[in-house]
Amino acid sequence: DAKTTQPPSMDCAEGRAANLPCNHSTISGNEYVYWYRQIHSQGPQYIIHGLKNNETNEMASLIITEDRKSSTLILPHATLRDTAVYYCIVRVGAFSGGYQKVTFGTGTKLQVIP
Amino acid sequence: DGGITQSPKYLFRKEGQNVTLSCEQNLNHDAMYWYRQDPGQGLRLIYYSQIVNDFQKGDIAEGYSVSREKKESFPLTVTSAQKNPTAFYLCASSISDLRDGTEAFFGQGTRLTVV
């Protein structure tokens, strides 16, 4: 799996958009970008994933650069409940697959400030 | 409701004792996983199972054992051979086919403290 690089921490004012970057310069053509978040002492929660095109769901938007070497997760109107560690991971297609062991790095700790 | 359940949420054990952490899912997922998380760290894969009666070691399997006798259950045993067992343990599941873009669902974790 390609490695990812994320800033260790970010702050965002409540109500503003939170833009979380992720670099994945060695991503392969068939690898997806996934985002999860982990609120303190809970299990990670799936947010969104994408391959080439930008994606949007009820939680967030994912912007992937044309060369696919980086992406940005956007929380359009951050709330205090969005304070969490956000993980960006890249991997081939499905989460499972005997040779595809998903690992999570240290992520970005997002602090939403009132 | 469908989901993945870990129990207990907090667990205390004396050093040298084996302890088994429970993970149950009713999502009809074939694949299940165990991760360990230490303070301020990411998740590290301990074991994973693609199908019943089959499992594979992850990156840090030493001192752990698993079984997969039923599709919905994937218990993890932390043995006395694990040198630093105190950690937050997370179980996850996902569908097993290789269609693109599948996601994993995580339990709420078990915090194990060995004293």
Q: Which residues of B touch A34 (CB under 8 A)?
A: 103
Residue A34 near residue B103 (C-beta atoms within 8 A): yes
CA dihedral (A51, A1, A48, B7) in degrees, to 10, reads: 150
**For position B95, what pLDDT does the model report?**
79
Round to whole Å and give the CA distance between B78 and B66: 9
**For position B40, what pLDDT does the model report?**
79
Q: Chain B closest CA to A77's CA: distance in Å?
A: 24
Q: Which residues of A touch B98 (CB under 8 A)?
A: 93-94, 96-97
Round to whole Å and give the CA distance between B28 and A98: 18
List pLDDT tens digits, range A70-85. 999 999 999 999 999 9
C-alpha distances (whole Å) from B62 to each of A94, A114, B66, B78 are 26, 44, 11, 10
List pLDDT tens digits, range A9-53. 999 999 999 999 999 998 888 888 989 999 988 889 989 989 888
- Cβ <8 Å between A46 and B104: yes
Q: Looking at chain B, which residue has its C-alpha nearest residue A105?
A: B42
Residue B101 near residue B12 (C-beta atoms within 8 A): no
**For position A107, what pLDDT does the model report?**
92
- Interface test with chain A among B98, B99, B108, by most A beta carbons within 10 Å: B98
DSSP one-letter code for A42 = S
